[in-house]
Structure 1
Amino acid sequence: MIDLPFIYDAFVQLCSGIPLTLQLMAVSVASGAVLAIALAAMRLSSWPPLDLLARIYIFIFRGTPLLVQLYLIYYGLSQFPELRKTFLWPFLREAYWCAALALALNTAAYSAEIIRGGVLSVPAGQIEAARAYGMSGLTLIRRIIAPQALRQMLPGYSNEVILMAKSTALASTITMMEVTGLAAKLISATYRPVEIFIAAGAIYLLLNFIVSRLFKLFEYRLSAAQRQPIYRRAAGENA
């Protein structure tokens, strides 16, 4: 029989790992988004070497498991003496920054393709019309490309953010005490994995529900111009 009071107690104890889970997710998603924009720009570039470099990066990070990437960064970088003498070593010797780096590099590869697809979804005729009107550079991106591309990429990008929230669980393999790390520690003390993993799963489910609702709200606000008022819709149906 499943012990509900024990699950509740485990849930309360595992909640102490939520701040670290959210930190890892926020840092990796934010830094990964910046890198993804650069990669998407390289993929859309008319200069073949830039496109090739972005393709190679995306191929490597989408084609290898995140866990392998995490191990290579955490255990592999320390094998280079030259790196240990640089200013980066105080960060890269910490499990937190290694986990954040691995998550950021991984999500950047997927997000770059989402961004590229969003940009390519903008009708070329609108871009040509905007240029004929005198728009160019940042004005064209800000007023024509970005709003439409963002609406198209938001559903896919929300899935990527949710995936990153779940992927933070892999940080437990390099001693990070986020939700899954605390769950493993609690299991070793109680030998009750089923109840503890149910509690951990409930926490991730709750976090991802909140994330999905926030993206839904953002998507709803972005599509305000495409929504007809109710009275106009009703009038159209009655006509």
Structure 2
Amino acid sequence: MDEFLQFVMERIVPGLNVGLLVSLKLIIPSSALGVVFGVITGALRVYGPVPVRRFADLYVSLFRGTPLVVQLYFWYFALPYISLGGLRIVMTPMQSSIVAFALCSAAYQSEYVRMGLMSIKAGQIKAAQALGMTPMQTVVNIVLPQAVRRALPGCGNEIIYLIKYSSLASIITVNELTGMGREIAKATWRNIEVFSVVGLYYLLIVSLATWGLKRLEERTSIPGFNRARG
């Protein structure tokens, strides 16, 4: 047991701490962009003009209907071969991962936002319009705040999924937690110990995120407001 603990503390933990920082640099911006784009896309799918709604629906269908691994490969390996007016876009593995995770997450989160928007009773919209509010003011000030509260549990679940899916970034050479764990396992041939600790790291991150999202739900809840359950 002493030898095991020594191995964990001296060989596994230092390397995984480096991978943890990389994972956080990947997860945090991807989650934030996913939420922002998800809210915007969800609102456009409900209140946008018909061409915009169709484009948003196509985007959601595309990113929900293709594997995330394929999307990662596209942004990192395929995009540089596409010429846009003579301009080629080349992204680093980290940039490609953030773009892939954010766009994929936003597609799923937009569905929760869309359902939240559609759950708001039409009477509230008519009442806001009767008070002289414009359609934009009605959506931004009346409908969207309620819809986001209803969508929060589902959007929170997508953030949890994104934390776990972030391990896929290692397939395009991002040395986050899983990538660092694989490197340590290759060097030491102690796969059981290494990946057991990697799993504990992910469990800790997910548990902290779950606690934080639960607190956010509680702080944004309104007494008497019937929130959707995740």
Q: Same fold (TM over 0.5)?
A: yes
Contact 1:73 1:98 in 2 (8 A): yes
Q: Within 1, Cα distance between the matches of 2:45 and 2:137?
A: 21
Q: 2:160 aligns with which of 156, 159, 162?
A: 162
Kindly report the root-mean-square deviation, in angstroms, between the aligned alpha carbons of the 2 structures. 2.3
Contact 1:44 1:116 in 2 (8 A): yes
Q: 2:33 aligns with which of 31, 41, 53?
A: 31
In structure 2, relative to structure 1, the CA distance for the partners of 1:192 and 1:43 (3 Å cut) is same
Contact 1:119 1:146 in 2 (8 A): yes
Q: 2:221 aligns with which of 220, 223, 228?
A: 223
Q: Percent identity?
A: 36
Larger Rg: 1
Contact 2:60 2:108 in 1 (8 A): yes
In structure 2, relative to structure 1, the CA distance for the partners of 1:125 and 1:50 (3 Å cut) is same
Q: Within 1, Cα distance between the matches of 2:92 and 2:196?
A: 30
Q: Within 2, Cα distance between the matches of 1:84 and 1:186?
A: 44
Q: Within 2, Cα distance between the matches of 1:137 and 1:122?
A: 14
Contact 2:181 2:194 in 1 (8 A): yes
CA shift, 1:162, in A, is 0.8
> Unaligned 5+ residue runs, structure 2?
226-230
Q: Within 1, Cα distance between the matches of 2:222 and 2:48?
A: 34
Q: Normalised by the size of structure 2, how large is the TM-score?
A: 0.87
Q: Within 1, Cα distance between the matches of 2:6 and 2:66?
A: 41
SS of the residue 1:44 aligns to? helix
> Unaligned 5+ residue runs, structure 1?
228-239
Q: Within 2, Cα distance between the matches of 1:201 and 1:183?
A: 10
Q: Within 1, Cα distance between the matches of 2:218 and 2:36?
A: 24
Q: Is structure 2 residue 134 aligned with structure 1 residue 136?
A: yes
For this pair of structures, how many residues does the alignment match? 223
SS of the residue 1:103 aligns to? helix
Alignment partner, residue 196 of structure 1: 194
Q: Within 2, Cα distance between the matches of 1:140 and 1:47?
A: 16
Aligned partner of 1:168: which letter? S
